[in-house]
Chain A
Amino acid sequence: MEAQKYVWDGAIPLQIHLHESQVTTLPPPPPALILAPRIGYLPLLASLLKPYFSSTLPPGVDTIWFDYNGLPLKWYIPTGVLFDLLCAEPERPWNLTVHFRGYPGTVLIPCEGEDSVKWSYINSLKEAAYIMNGNCKNVMNMSQSDQLELWHSVMNGNLETYQRVSSKLKLATVEDEHTSLCSSKSQQGFGETDLAGQVKTGRVPVRLYVWSVSEDFDDLEDMPKVDSWEKISYINRPVEIHKEAGVDFEDALRIPSEDVSSDKVVEDHVQNAYEHREACSISSSAEIKLIRIQGIEPKLEIPFSWVVNNLMNPDYFLHICVCVKVPQQNST
């Protein structure tokens, strides 16, 4: 699975400045230059940053957090996703400010170091498992050592170990022609059959980060910067697709999730589906200006199954950053 290797090898060059309020020495220390894995999380850099800045930090308790242009960064979002989301025009190196004091507890959920990040990862994995398999038993029943091994493989970017341990979880992934041809490892079929023997729709874990602009921009640099999390719509909603449908990427984003609601009619969903459809992701009236996954901008015609299998994060979620253009609103 070559693409997965590229994803795991992906990294963001960071130039990390210590916040001036915590600089106690003159001259101030030079910024730290770090290559941060895309699939990793910023607090994990503490093991490198704390020693680097230790000689200048004031005494006291350290809780690491980062900001980009004043925006506190949500630590449970993978580093690569943060970069794709907040830098429309990729900034290399990416200039971040690190803090060891003054944790913004009203904005960010607490992070007590590596353990917090690990639990956050495991919880996401549970969620993904539930979405794909209908239950989280496989993750809940992981042995302690497997759990640790899996987490360490993510922390250290060790794809081989990750693939070995995660395959034990038997998480249903999407089948696509390319995968079945190239891959030697057996993959569980996507979606389950119900009692009538029909293949139900399968659910794919997706996290959408959407922001909107009201005009076209020639240069990504001219796009208004995201200066508040209020400007980003975070949609944590699984995408439902039919196994045979051959859905392409854009369709998957715009597909309303099928609402098999009170009248769970198995035989004839066509009519009911149309009646009970829920609004899901992006409406047809919104023009997609930019999509980024793992730092790349996939063509909208790419089969969704390929996108899922190759570009998902180690938590089995597809994290997608989208910029849509909407007509200017007259009223707020």
Chain B
Amino acid sequence: MMDLLHWDGTLSAKDFRIGAVAFAQKWESLNFAFPPWVWVPCPKHPWLASPELLQEEGYLSMEKICISRLNEEDIDQTTQIDTDEEEASCSGNKDVIDDATLVQRNHHELHYYDFHIVYSNTFRVPVLYLRAYCSDGQPLQLDEIEKELPTCSSKELSKSKWTFITQEEHPHLKRPWYKLHPCGTGEWMKLLFLNDTAQPKFEVVLELYLLSWFSVVGQVVGLRIPFKMLNDR
């Protein structure tokens, strides 16, 4: 049986898939004001995998989130039609029908965010990719995004830009996206679980992995999960 003490806080690709499904389900059941996370499969070329192990690679997606800059505590609510999982594919994401209705709190320019949770083969942890744009689709630059982040994140960013948010090619969509640097994730993920006096089995750890991960990472981009929901297991 897996011993948490010897665990390095990382996940295999297969475990990420399992954890992603668990995370998406938990997310929905916790009834936030956010739309659900959708798993987007990315079929591999047949010559890149042995037939018996054609494991489905993919990522989690939550898109068209409106973040209001003037209120760090509250997030504007965005509702959207649940995307059909079969229709969503790596190239077809842009075709997702959006019927967003917004509670407009302020009369300033609205910015939309797309979030993807992608597995990193190098760091063996989930990585948050994001992009931001205006209502006309015009992409936001990093400095504009920085202004919208909670103040502590902006400080981190100004200190050492390259260890925090970098602009890179999305591993599946092959387009420029922003990415939260995953170096160190394994370490603090391990700490999160080691602090748990209950010493859960790895199956439980896996189920909660992404939720715990997101509770930390989401804060950087202003998405806060109420802590009491995390404690309800």
Bound-state Cα–Cα, A234 to B71, Å: 40
Contacts of B139 in A (CB 8 A): 105
Which A residues from 248 to 289 make CB contacts under 8 A with B? 256-257, 259-264, 276-279, 281-286
Q: Which residues of B contact A259 (CB under 8 A)?
A: 12-14
B183 touches A130 (CB 8 A): yes
Q: B interface, how many residues as a size bin?
A: 35 or more
Residue of chain B at shortest CB distance from A208: B48
- In the complex, whether B28 has a CB less than 8 A from a CB of chain A is no
Q: Are B48 and A236 in contact (CB under 8 A)?
A: no
A324: B residues at CB distance < 8 A: 47
Q: Which residues of A contact B168 (CB under 8 A)?
A: 109
A110-B176, A262-B12 known; A283 and B51 CB under 8 Å? yes
B48 adjacent to A233 (CB under 8 Å):
yes
State whether A276 and B12 are in contact (beta carbons under 8 Å apart), knowing that A110-B167, A264-B7 are contacts in the complex: yes
A257 partner residues in chain B, CB cutoff 8 A? 121
| A285-B51 contact given A105-B176, A262-B203, CB 8 Å threshold | yes
User: In the assembled complex, how far is the CB of residue B97 from the closest CB belonging to chain A, in whole angstroms?
Assistant: 22
Does A326 lie within 8 Å of B47, measured CB to CB? yes
Q: Whole-angstrom distance from the CB of A83 to the nearest CB of chain B?
A: 20
Inter-chain contact A119/B162, CB cutoff 8 Å: yes
Q: Tell me if A296 is interfacial: C-beta within 8 Å of chain B.
A: no
Within 8 A of A (CB), among B156-212: 162-163, 166-169, 171, 174-176, 183, 187, 202-203, 206
Complex CA gap A326/B8 in Å reads 38
The interface residues of chain B lying within 8 Å CB-to-CB of A326 are 45-47
Cβ of A108 within 8 Å of any chain B Cβ, yes or no, is: yes
Bound-complex Cα distance A263 to B2 (A): 6
Say if the beta carbon of A131 comes within 8 Å of chain B.
yes
Stretch in A84-92, A120-128, A167-175, A182-190 touching the partner: A120-128
Q: Is B29 part of the binding interface, using a Cβ–Cβ cutoff of 8 Å?
A: no
Q: Quick one: which of A279-322 are within 8 Å of B by CB?
A: 279, 281-286
Q: Is the CB of B46 within 8 A of A283?
A: yes
What B residues does A81 contact at CB under 8 A? Answer: none
Query: Min CB distance, B144 to chain A, in Å?
Result: 14
Q: Is B31 in the interface zone, CB < 8 Å from A?
A: no
The answer to whether A229 touches B50, judged by C-beta atoms less than 8 angstroms apart, is no
Contact bitstring A130-143, B, C-beta under 8 A = 1, else 0: 11001110001000
CA distance A256 to B15 in the complex (A): 16
A130–B162 Cα distance when bound, in Å, is 16
With both chains docked as a complex, state the minimum distance between the C-beta of B29 and any C-beta of chain A, in angstroms.
Answer: 23
- Asked if A61 is at the interface of the complex by the 8 Å CB criterion, the answer is no
| Contacts A140-B163, A262-B202; A235 near B48 (Cβ below 8 A) | yes
B152 at the A interface (CB under 8 A) = no
Determine whether the beta carbon of A278 is less than 8 Å from that of B12.
Answer: yes
Given contacts A119-B166, A131-B122, contact A283 B12 (CB under 8 A): no
State which residues 8-41 of B face A: CB under 8 Å. Answer: 8, 11-15
Distance in angstroms from B15 CB to nearest chain A CB is: 5
**Residue on B nearest A259 in the bound complex, by CB:** B12
CB pair B162–A123 under 8 Å, yes or no, is yes
Is B219 interfacial (CB 8 A cutoff)? no
Contacting pair A278 B47 (CB below 8 A): no
Query: Are the CB atoms of B122 and A236 closer together than 8 Å?
Result: yes
Determine how close the nearest CB of chain B comes to the CB of A255; give it in whole angstroms: 11
A264 / chain B contacts, CB cutoff of 8 Å: 2, 6-7
**Is A195 interfacial (CB-CB < 8 Å)?**
yes
Min distance, Cβ A240 to any Cβ of chain B, angstroms: 11
User: Is B44 at the interface (CB under 8 A from chain A)?
Assistant: yes
Indicate whether B54 reaches chain A with its CB closer than 8 angstroms.
Answer: yes
Once the chains are docked, how many angstroms separate the CA of A107 from the CA of B51? Answer: 32
Q: Are A230 and B46 in contact (CB under 8 A)?
A: no
A107 and B175 contact, CB distance less than 8 A: yes
* B97-142 contacts to A (CB < 8 Å): 121-123, 139
On chain A, the residues within 8 Å of B122 by CB distance are 127, 130-131, 205, 236-238
Residues of A within 8 A of B183 (CB): 126, 130, 135-136, 140
Q: How far is the CA of A237 from the CA of B233 in the complex (A)?
A: 35
Are the C-beta atoms of B6 and A195 separated by less than 8 Å? Answer: yes
Q: Which of A70-105 contact B (CB under 8 A)?
A: 74, 105
Give chain B residues whose Cβ lies under 8 Å from the Cβ of A130: 122-123, 183
> CB-nearest residue of chain A relative to B7?
A264
| 16 A-B pairs whose Cβ atoms sit less than 8 Å apart in the complex | A107-B175, A109-B167, A130-B183, A140-B163, A195-B6, A210-B45, A233-B48, A236-B171, A238-B121, A261-B15, A262-B12, A264-B2, A279-B49, A281-B48, A283-B51, A329-B46
Sort A-B residue pairs by CB-CB distance and give the 10 closest, nearest first.
A279-B49, A286-B47, A261-B12, A109-B176, A237-B121, A279-B53, A259-B12, A326-B47, A136-B183, A283-B50
Sample of 5 further A-B pairs with CB below 8 A, known A210-B48, A262-B15: A105-B176, A212-B45, A233-B45, A263-B2, A279-B50
Which residues of A approach B to under 8 Å, CB–CB? 74, 105-110, 119, 122-123, 126-127, 130-131, 134-136, 140, 194-195, 205, 210, 212, 229-230, 233, 235-238, 256-257, 259-264, 276-279, 281-286, 324, 326, 329
